[in-house]
Amino acid sequence: MTNKKNGYTGQTDARRKASAKYLKESVEDIRIRVPKGRKEEIKARADSKGMSLNGYVVQAIDERIERDNAKDGE
């Protein structure tokens, strides 16, 4: 991506290194598989809520855990 105003052409090596370090230290990956067509359905729902696909899925997981915890505490 080139910005004609200041000549910026994308991430610098320093920015890439910083991003890689943050990801390594701060987050973990979970891969999920869904039936064909479901990804777009879920993404559309996330978009309609103004959320990223990842944020939407993480929120759904968090809500499920809260419900399970409340149920287990009965």
Q: What is the pLDDT of residues 10-36, one digit of tens each?
A: 889 999 999 999 999 999 999 999 999
- Number of domains the chain is built from: 1
CA distance 46 to 50: 6
Give DSSP secondary structure letters for 6-56.
Answer: T---S--HHHHHHHHHHHHHH---------TTHHHHHHHHHHHTT--HHHH
Residue 7 lies in a domain: no
Main-chain dihedrals φ then ψ at residue 56, nearest 5 degrees? -65, -45
Question: What is the domain range of residue 29?
Answer: 13-72
Among 41, 43, 62, 61, smallest CA distance to 51 is for 43
Residue 25 lies in a domain: yes
Q: Identify the pLDDT of residue 74.
A: 65
Residue 2 lies in a domain: no
Q: How confident is the model at residue 55 (pLDDT cuts 50, 70, 90)?
A: very high
Residue 1 lies in a domain: no
Residue 57 lies in a domain: yes
Residue 54 lies in a domain: yes
